[in-house]
Amino acid sequence: MFDVRDLQSSPRNALARDDSNRESAGEPALFLQAWQARARHHPPTIRFDRPLDTLPVSLTGPSCALQCAHCGGHYLAHMRPIWEVDDTPATSLLISGGCDPQGRVPVSQHLERVAALRAGRRLNWHVGMIDEATLRTIEPYVDLVSFDVVGDRETAREVYGLDLDLDDYMRTYDLLRRRVRVVPHLTLGLRGGRMSGERRALEALAARDAGTVVFIVLIPTPGTRYADCAPPPLDEAARFLARARVEMPRARLYLGCMRPRGTYREALDEAAVRAGLNVIVNPARSAVEAAAEMGLTVEWGRECCALD
Say if residues 284 and 265 touch (Cβ distance below 8 Å). Answer: yes
Residues 69, 227: Cα–Cα separation, whole Å = 9
Q: In this structure, how many other beta carbons lie within 10 angstroms of the beta carbon of residue 91? A: 15
Torsions phi, psi for 211 (to 5 deg): -80, -25
In degrees, to the nearest 5, what angle opens at C-alpha 201 toward C-alphas 195 and 207?
145
- Under DSSP, the state recorded for 28 is P
Least confident of 10-19, 159-168, 215-224: 10-19
Q: Where are the alpha helices (DSSP H) in the chain?
A: 4-9, 11-24, 30-41, 111-118, 132-138, 153-160, 166-179, 198-207, 234-247, 262-274, 285-293
- 28: pLDDT confidence band, cut at 50, 70 and 90? very low
Q: What pLDDT does 4 receive?
A: 32
Q: What pLDDT does 296 receive?
A: 98
228 burial (CB, 10 Å; 0-12 / 13-18 / 19+) is exposed
Residues 142, 263: Cα–Cα separation, whole Å = 37
CA torsion angle 27 28 30 34 (round to 10) = -170
- Under DSSP, the state recorded for 78 is G
Please compute the mean of the pLDDT values over residues 143-171 and round it to a whole number: 97
Concatenated DSSP letters of 177-244: HHHS-EEEEEEETTBTTB--SHHHHHHHHHHTT-SEEEEEE----TTSTTTTPPPSPHHHHHHHHHHH
- Under DSSP, the state recorded for 128 is B
Who has greater pLDDT, 201 or 27? 201
Please report which helix (H) or strand (E) contains residue 297, including its range. Answer: strand 297-301
Options 3.20.20.70, 3.40.190.10, 3.20.20.100, 3.40.50.720; CATH of 4-301: 3.20.20.70
Q: What pLDDT does 23 receive?
A: 38
Question: Which tens digits make up the pLDDT trace of 214-263?
Answer: 999 999 999 999 999 999 999 999 999 999 999 999 999 999 999 999 99
62 burial (CB, 10 Å; 0-12 / 13-18 / 19+) is middle
Q: Where are the domains of the chain?
A: 4-301
Is the pLDDT reported for residue 54 higher than 50?
yes
pTM strictly above 0.85: yes
